[in-house]
Amino acid sequence: MESLMKQSPPIFRPKPGELIEGSVVFRGKNKLLIDIHGVAVGIISGRELRDSFNTFKDLSVGHLVSALVLEEENDEGLVVMSLRMASQRKAWDKFHKLIENETTMKFTAQEANKGGLITNIDGIRAFLPVSQLAPVNYPRVNNADSTEIISRLQKFIGHTFTVKIVTMDQEAGKIVVSERDAMSEERAKALEGLKIGDSKDGVVSGIVKFGLFVTFEGLEGLVHISEIAWGHVKNPAEFAEMGDQVRVKVIGVDGDKLSLSIKQLTKDPWEEVAERYPVGKKVTGTVVRFADYGAFMRLEKDINGLVHLSEISHTKVTDPAEALTIGQKVDAQVINIDVDERRIGLSIKALKPIDKETMERLKKEREAESEAKASKEANPTSLKELREASEANQANEAGFIASKTGKKYYAAGSAQAEKIKEENRILFKTEKEAEGAGYSA
């Protein structure tokens, strides 16, 4: 008996957590029976049949399969096993190799929250944060509106991304992945060959108050609101929609931050503006907006002109809305043009006749202004008067004044002249300032 015992194989005792290979002896709709070395039978059922590799789907009687032991023996004397947990063990091994080799993996989103996208790989929670999405998929929204972000992310449920693992916590059973990192090599190659002045076909990936985001070749750049069109752009959303195909010009490269332009791929309408709108020409435009200093009129697409407050009427106007309305068609005359500054000056009053009464009033106003100017030049305020009006210098009497030209200071008739002189230099730091202000004895 002892001899037979010594010659017999060791007694097999499966241990929980052990990965064991066996052959399928029975395959039911929701159950597998596994022969384990001819000395035990294992059972795999329910959710333990489902793994990320769909192993159960391809199994038939006689196939070899690896499963993880959950219990040594159940009430029926069967070893309880799991394909899901075996797959999880394999998944962790796979994750370690992916990190070691810096390779990518697939991530199919199952859930979304405002922080990002989530999936479950055999009980391992994989998280793809919003910040780690590639530029083409990043949810660009105004004011980081969480409701809008979640709405955008929910559209990715069921979508498969190529990602890289950035952190892994086996004890907690979770990993964090990045689509940006997975595409970094592709972006680096695209950036290497990118030059200022290049034209690219791209897709609008974001619309915000300050411009449009456009992606191409794994890169993303910003078309600032000032680079969307040659005319005034108030709302970028009026010029493009998400997913639109657009052609852009690269106008700036700062690391992986790109500045793009749409308008620079079209002819600048201002190149011919000077010819079409010479000074003195009568034009018809539409009032499109008001400013504190006047009203803007649209003459044609992307070309506006300014009617200054002083050019609206022969009578004084303090608010353009008092004389004009938005959408009103108005005749005006071109009074100046600056192509470099992209400005056209217009006058409405230049085309309006002026009555005798208004003409007389304007003449009197001009004469009064001329008289006041002449009086000031003939009788400039003295430094003495200025000192008397200043609380800090009320005690200072005459003894220091500026010459009419303001080129020199001098003191007279007082032992405190130097003190007064220095005190009044506070009022005029230089002789030139005194001259410019018109002060004299």
How many other C-beta atoms are found inside a 10 Å radius of the C-beta of residue 73?
Answer: 12
Task: Kindly state whether residue 8 falls inside one of the protein's structural domains.
Answer: no
**pLDDT tens per residue across span 121-135:** 877 899 999 989 987
Instruction: Measure the CA–CA gap between 210 and 227, rounded to whole angstroms.
Output: 10
Please report which confidence band the pLDDT of residue 144 belongs to, taking 50, 70 and 90 as the band edges. Answer: low
pLDDT in tens, 182-210: 888 778 878 888 889 999 999 998 888 89
CA angle, 142 then 146 then 151, to 5°: 95
Residue 132 covered by a domain: yes
361 in any annotated domain: no
Provide the number of structural domains found in the chain.
5
CATH number of residue 322's parent domain: 2.40.50.140
pTM to 2 decimals? Answer: 0.51
Is the domain of 201 the same as that of 164? no
> For residue range 86-143, what is the model confidence (pLDDT) as tens digits?
888 888 888 999 999 888 999 999 999 988 999 988 778 999 999 899 877 888 776 6
Question: How large is the average pLDDT for residues 10-27?
Answer: 84
Question: In this structure, are strands 343-347 and 303-308 parallel, antiparallel, or unpaired?
Answer: parallel
Asked, for residue 306, whether it belongs to a domain, the answer is yes
The share of the chain scoring above pLDDT 90, in percent, equals: 38
306, 335, 351 - which closes a domain: 351
Same domain? For 344 and 388 the reply is no
Domain that holds residue 134: 104-182
Residue scoring higher pLDDT (234 or 260): 260
- The reply to whether 406 and 430 lie within a common domain is yes
For 298, which DSSP code?
E
- pLDDT value at residue 272: 82
Look at residues 85, 80, 66 and name the one whose alpha carbon lies nearest to residue 23.
66
3-state SS of the chain: helix, strand, coil percent to 5?
A: 30, 35, 35
Domain end position, chosen among 29, 56, 88: 88
Pair of tokens at residue 107: 């991530």
Q: What would the mean pLDDT of 16-27 be, rounded to a whole number?
A: 90
Determine the average pLDDT of the residues in 60-80: 90
Residue 165 shares a structural domain with residue 202: no
* H or E stretch at 126: strand 124-129
> Do 233 and 288 lie in a common domain?
no
Task: Answer whether residue 400 shows pLDDT above 50.
Answer: no
* 344 and 415 both lie in a single domain: no
Q: What digits encode the pLDDT tens for the residues 327-349?
A: 999 999 999 998 878 889 999 99
pLDDT at position 420 over 80: no
Q: Using CA atoms, how far apart are residues 1 and 439, in angstroms rounded to an integer?
A: 132
- Of 59, 88, 117, the one marking the end of a domain is 88
Handedness of CA 312, 315, 321, 324 (dihedral sign): negative
Mean of the pLDDT values across residues 15-41? 90
Residue 398 sits in the same domain as residue 418: yes
372-379 LR contacts (CB < 8 Å, sep 24+): 376/438, 377/438
CA gap 82, 427 in Å, rounded = 92
Please compute the mean of the pLDDT values over residues 63-87 and round it to a whole number.
Answer: 89
Task: State the pLDDT at residue 366.
Answer: 74
Whether 97 maps to a domain, the answer reads no
CA–CA distance, 282 with 291 (Å, rounded to integer): 23
How high is the pLDDT of residue 381? 54
Q: For the residues 251-278, what does the mean pLDDT come to?
A: 87
139 and 197 assigned to the same domain: no
What is the pLDDT at residue 122? 75
User: Token match 């011919």: residue?
Assistant: 272
Helix (H) or strand (E) holding 372: helix 356-378
Whether the predicted pLDDT of 11 surpasses 70: no
Assess whether 344 and 289 both reside in one domain.
yes
Tell me what the mean pLDDT of segment 28-37 comes to. Answer: 90
Mean pLDDT of 144-167: 88
Q: Are residues 62 and 44 in the same domain?
A: yes
Q: Which residues contact 221 (CB under 8 A, 6 or more apart)?
A: 202, 213, 214, 215, 248, 250, 257, 258, 259, 260
Q: Which two tokens mark 279?
A: 């000074």
User: Does 235 score more than 80 pLDDT?
Assistant: yes
* Average pLDDT for 292-298: 94
Model confidence at 39: pLDDT above 80:
yes
Would you say residue 377 lies in a domain? no
Same domain? For 213 and 261 the reply is yes
Q: CA-CA-CA-CA torsion for 375, 379, 383, 386, nearest 10 degrees?
A: -40
Same domain, 69 and 109: no
| 305, part of any domain | yes
Q: Confirm whether 373 is domain-assigned.
A: no
Give the pLDDT score at 246.
94
Q: Work out the average pLDDT over 270-295.
A: 91
- Identify the pLDDT of residue 256: 76
